[in-house]
């Protein structure tokens, strides 16, 4: 057992040291089935971890080779940002343990910056902050070396983005700005409307209240208990309190004011204050004044109802004679002249 455990440890070490020569040994160990996870009390073959190459010496060597040529800063222009990235863990909650919080605070003191990768804004802001930190160093270096960072206004040269592209960008910005403005305006209007409604309600409430109070007062007064309401008081009326307002006065008050135009029209076309009832009644339908019998002889009346030749029965003017009769009459008339 002990020997096996030792073997296991050995193999683990082998896993850590990524030497290719020891792969064969590993394979041999696998074949002899000594790789079992005894610690967990399970008998299952232990799969060796996948190894990843990390040849530090080679990396350093490659870096050195690269560094050799053109190593002055003006050729390289590289800068190290001082803002450290602290990746926000996906499951971390805002209320961490005390020690963790302290750690985070300590990190923040060292220009650390907690970043939520999923949050675009936080990520981009982090990059900007990092770039700005390194820019501070870079600008001071450039100042020392007397290299201009600001283009003089009379220096015209081709830009990376074409004017056409920049125009599009500007248009987009403008349209976005407009959209935002419009939405804000709409919002304001909506709010105003809401406020106006509230005010209206308040006013109506107030009016209702006043009316109620007034009615109560009037009621009290009519029972002879309360004081006389203000609107009923008149200077000459103090000694003779009248309970009822004169009808003429009341009539004047009733109804809305008529405009001048309406009044003129009323004068012209005659306006009666009550509306005529247009519907027929038994009386109105029996009324024959509209059809004077002396002229139509009742025939017109019948005709209007479309009831055939009832006209012959009634009196009145004689019906039109037949054609031959008319011709004879015509002849007679001619002969007379």
Partner 1 sequence: MEEHVEEATGQVRFVPSKESKKGKKRKRETDTKDPPLLIIEDGEPLDKKAKKWKNKTRVLILCARGVTYRSRHLMNDIKTLLPHSRSDNKLDRKDDLSSLVELCEMKNCTKCIFFEMRKRKDLYMWISHLPNGPSAKFLVENVHTMNELKLTGNCLLGSRPLLSFDPSFTGSPHYSLLKELFIKIFSTPYYHPKSKPFIDHMFHFGLLDNHIWFRNYQIVDDGKTLTEIGPRFTLNLIKIFSGSFGGATLYQNPHYQTPNAYRRTIKLMMAQKQDKKVKQKKKISTATRKVLDGLSRDPMESVFDTLNYK
Q: How many residues make contact with partner 1 (CB under 8 A)? A: 63
CA distance 242 to 123: 84
Nearest to 50 by CA among 18, 8, 21: 18
Q: Please give the Cα distance from 279 to 299 (Å, whole number).
A: 26
Q: For residue 56, state whether it binds partner 1 (rule: CB under 8 A).
A: yes
258 near 266, Cβ under 8 Å?
yes
As measured in angstroms, the least distance from the Cβ of 128 to partner 1 is: 6
Residue 167 Cβ, how far from partner 1 at the closest point, in Å? 11
What's the CA gap between 101 and 331, in Å, rounded? 134
Q: Which of 19, 47, 52, 324 binds partner 1 (CB under 8 A)?
A: 52
- Candidates 152-160, 207-215, 247-255, 282-290: pick the segment binding partner 1 (CB under 8 A): 152-160
By CB under 8 A, is residue 84 in contact with partner 1? yes
Tokens of 280: 């027929």
Interacting stretch for partner 1, rule CB under 8 A, among 75-83, 265-273, 293-301, 321-329? 75-83
* Binding of partner 1 by 147 (CB under 8 A): yes
Closest of 319, 270, 278, 271 to residue 296, by C-alpha: 319
What is the nearest approach in angstroms of partner 1 to the Cβ of residue 170? 8
Residue 115 in the binding site for partner 1 (CB under 8 A): yes
Using rule CB under 8 A, residue 157 touches partner 1: yes
User: What is the nearest approach in angstroms of partner 1 to the Cβ of residue 31?
Assistant: 26
Under the binding rule (CB under 8 A), the answer on residue 173 touching partner 1 is yes
What's the CA angle centered on 92, arms 87 and 98, to 5 degrees? 100
Rounded to whole angstroms, how far apart are CA atoms 4 and 35?
A: 8
Quick one: 162 exposed, middle or buried, by C-beta within 10 A (0-12, 13-18, 19+)?
A: exposed
- Footprint on this chain of partner 1 (rule: CB under 8 A): 52-56, 58-60, 62-63, 65-70, 74-85, 87, 115, 117, 123-124, 126-128, 130-132, 134-136, 138-139, 142, 147-151, 155-161, 165-166, 168-169, 172-173
């Amino acid at each position: 057992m002990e020997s096996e455990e030792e073997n296991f440890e050995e193999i683990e070490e082998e896993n850590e040291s990524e030497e290719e020569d020891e792969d064969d040994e590993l394979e041999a160990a696998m074949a002899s089935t000594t790789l079992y996870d005894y610690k967990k009390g399970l008998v299952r073959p232990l799969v060796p971890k996948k190894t990843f190459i990390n040849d530090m010496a080679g990396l350093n060597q490659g870096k050195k080779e690269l560094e050799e040529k053109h190593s002055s800063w003006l050729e390289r222009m590289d800068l190290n940002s001082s803002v450290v990235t602290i990746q926000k863990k996906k499951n971390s909650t805002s209320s961490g343990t005390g020690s963790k919080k302290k750690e985070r605070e300590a990190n923040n003191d060292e220009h650390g910056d907690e970043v939520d990768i999923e949050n675009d804004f936080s990520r981009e802001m982090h990059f900007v902050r990092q770039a700005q930190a390194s820019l501070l160093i870079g600008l001071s270096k450039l100042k020392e070396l007397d290299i201009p960072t600001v283009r003089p206004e009379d220096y015209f040269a081709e830009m990376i983005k074409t004017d056409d592209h920049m125009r599009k960008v500007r248009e987009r910005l403008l349209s976005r700005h407009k959209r935002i403005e419009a939405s804000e305006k709409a919002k304001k209007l909506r709010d105003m409307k809401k406020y106006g409604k509230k005010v209206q309600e308040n006013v109506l409430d107030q009016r209702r209240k006043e009316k109620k109070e007034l009615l109560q007062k009037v009621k009290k007064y009519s029972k002879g208990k309360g004081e006389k309401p203000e609107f009923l008081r008149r200077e000459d009326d103090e000694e003779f309190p009248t309970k009822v307002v004169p009808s003429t006065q009341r009539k004047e008050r009733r109804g809305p004011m008529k405009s001048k135009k309406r009044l003129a029209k009323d004068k012209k076309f005659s306006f009666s204050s009550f509306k005529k009832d247009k519907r027929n009644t038994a009386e109105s339908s029996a009324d024959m004044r509209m059809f004077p019998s002396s002229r139509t002889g009742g025939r017109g009346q019948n005709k209007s109802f479309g009831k055939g030749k009832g006209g012959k029965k009634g009196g009145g003017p004689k019906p039109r004679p037949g054609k031959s009769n008319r011709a004879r009459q015509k002849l007679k008339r001619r002969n007379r002249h």
